[in-house]
Amino acid sequence: MDLLPTAFAVLYQFGDAFAFLVIASAGLAVIFGMMGVINLAHGEFIMCGAYVTVAVARLGVPLPLAILTGALVAGLIGMLIERLIIRHLYHRTLDSIVATWGISLIATQGVLIVLGSTMQGVGTPLGSITVGSLSYSTYRLVLMGMALVLLLGLYLLFYHTRYGVVSRATIQAPHMARALGVDTGRIYSLTFGFGAALAGLAGGLYAPTMTMVPTMGATFIVESFVTVVVGGADIFLGAAPAAAVLAVIRASLTAWQGQLFGQIGLLIAVIIVIRVLPGGLSGWFLRTGR
């Protein structure tokens, strides 16, 4: 095999794993990092985004627009749930875990009862490209690009907009922020909704490549939690580098020994990180930076 196609194959697999980890975990990282809420309904927001995307796309709406609709609907539902349930459980981590788990069970079973056990997909757009002797899905290259755009967008949002400054202030010192006239309740609500919208976006982006079933969110859960745990609370110092490291581990182990070892590698990485760096990568960066 020539060098160039081989290099492309390796890069493609790395990029594919990286994109999945970043896109799947962004929503979870925002909600956990900014609000300290461990959202076990993350997978169901992803499922919601995917279902809305497919339903809208099947009405004839162009796919990018359908994906945005999926993210928007997931975000609105997220804000509603924050108002009704999550709001009462801030600083009660264990209670919020149980509550979000309950929401996820209700969502999965509710979708099963109302919409049935499966839904027809929309098919992956954009066809394939051939490099060397292997062919690749073009859409997955788009997903890799989307992961980078997503990281850049989040960075700009949290560090270069008024919402970003206010929300970070709300997280770090809620009393001070309130004293300065920030409506912290609104910020919490917006942030939770934003996290849910990111989950919905993940669902929308991956919907064309997957089976549409009520339990589809569960297949994102392990990867997203692993990324957030390894990364720690900060999405830029933590989740992005964590996704890169985990993508290398996963892609190389899967290429070497198959899917099972890819899974095992991810989980071993988490165990080591929890043992050695309890604050995750971002905690370690912040400590050594000081």
Q: Where does this chain bind another protein (CB under 8 A)?
A: 9, 12-13, 16-17, 20, 108-109, 112, 116-124, 127-128, 130, 133-137, 139-140, 208-216, 218-219, 251, 254-255, 258-260, 262-263
Closest to another protein by CB, 49 or 280: 49
Closest to another protein by CB, 54 or 245: 54
Smallest separation, CB 59 to another protein (Å): 15
Please tell me the distance from the alpha carbon of residue 126 to that of residue 245, in angstroms, as a whole number. 29
Closest to another protein by CB, 70 or 214: 214
Smallest separation, CB 57 to another protein (Å): 11
Smallest separation, CB 156 to another protein (Å): 28
Closest to another protein by CB, 184 or 263: 263
Smallest separation, CB 38 to another protein (Å): 21
- For residue 95 the two structure tokens come to 């209670």
Smallest separation, CB 20 to another protein (Å): 6
Closest to another protein by CB, 118 or 161: 118
Please tell me the distance from the alpha carbon of residue 58 to that of residue 40, in angstroms, as a whole number. 29
CB 219, CB 24: distance < 8 Å: no
Closest to another protein by CB, 13 or 170: 13
Closest to another protein by CB, 19 or 187: 19
Smallest separation, CB 212 to another protein (Å): 7
Smallest separation, CB 144 to another protein (Å): 11
